[in-house]
Amino acid sequence: SKVYLNGEWLKPEEAKISVFDRGFLFGDGIYEVIPFYSGKLFLLKEHLQRLRYSLNEVELQCDISDFESIILKAIELTELNAADGAIYIQVSRGMAPRTHYFPENYDATVLVYAYKTNLRGFQNQFKDVLVSNDLRWHRCDIKSVSLMANILANTEAKKSDFSENIMIRDGYFTEGSHSSLFFVKDESVYTHPNGKFILPGITRNLLIKLCKENNIVIVEKALPVSELDEVTEVFITGTTTQITAIKNLHFPDRIINFGNDIGKVTRRLQLLFCEEVKKRTGV
């Protein structure tokens, strides 16, 4: 397998960056993760558009016009043409003497690689998650590699054997450490509105579209923790999470259960999602 680093295709162990790379020194970088099913990319344009948005928001100069061909080549060189997996892309503000302000001249550091991952079987999962405080900054709409708050919270979840945590900011649920968050209440689907407090999830956006096309009421409104007792189903979405149903929410002082089986709205959306994958990738 080969990774792309600054114009070269290298063996992973040979791909190296400078200790003065701002991605390393400051977490001054942007990333993106794009799924592929049987080697066929899913929602590529949408992911590249979000990458462009994030780069733009932090004024990180990088020409991404050749990224599509780099991505295709990464799948090929890793021999994943028939496999399920994902592309990881990271762009950092290159190498410069360490100052907080942006250097005047720099060459962005670009890393792209493909890896195999399991994208099947999410319909059989009914998971528990930890509920944590959202300690992130106020620009969660930027897909920054500075993920300290996310990794601290997710490590707490992992200590209890949960793969994800969902977060609360000022009394409202926001999202997961690496997934978007949805609730079902009165047969309607609720999710936090886009803005500075969540990442505009690509899977989230697709799900909203699927709701609208299928006459499922979708409300982009943050759910206050105080209304949790009216909620009948909870699920999380993401590129590799896809649509995962949540069985129990673990608060520090209580556990809230959502039944012994995946709810019917979640099930329906999982089926619609699978149909959409088939339609767009042909597999």
* Least distance in angstroms from the C-beta of 221 to ligand PMP: 17
CB nearer to ligand PMP: pick between 102 and 162: 162
For residue 26, CA distances in Å to 5, 20, 142, 281 come to 19, 10, 15, 37
* Least distance in angstroms from the C-beta of 118 to ligand PMP: 15
- Of 45, 143, 159, 278, the catalytic one is 143
Positions that interact with ligand PMP (CB under 6 A) = 33, 175, 178-180, 199, 201-204, 237-239
Residue showing tokens 């069985």 = 247
* Least distance in angstroms from the C-beta of 269 to ligand PMP: 14
Say whether 143 is catalytic: yes
Under DSSP, the state recorded for 55 is H
Of 147, 177, 197, nearest to 27 by C-alpha is 147
Report helix, strand or coil for 273.
Answer: helix
CB nearer to ligand PMP: pick between 30 and 199: 199
* Least distance in angstroms from the C-beta of 237 to ligand PMP: 6
Instruction: Name 52's Cβ contacts closer than 8 Å, sequence gap at least 6.
Output: 64
Q: What is the CA radius of gyration of the chain?
A: 19
For the record, the structure tokens of 147 come out as 């993920």
For residue 117, CA distances in Å to 37, 85, 121, 276, 278 come to 10, 4, 12, 19, 18
CB nearer to ligand PMP: pick between 95 and 130: 130
CB nearer to ligand PMP: pick between 42 and 106: 42
Give catalytic residues, as residue numbers: 143
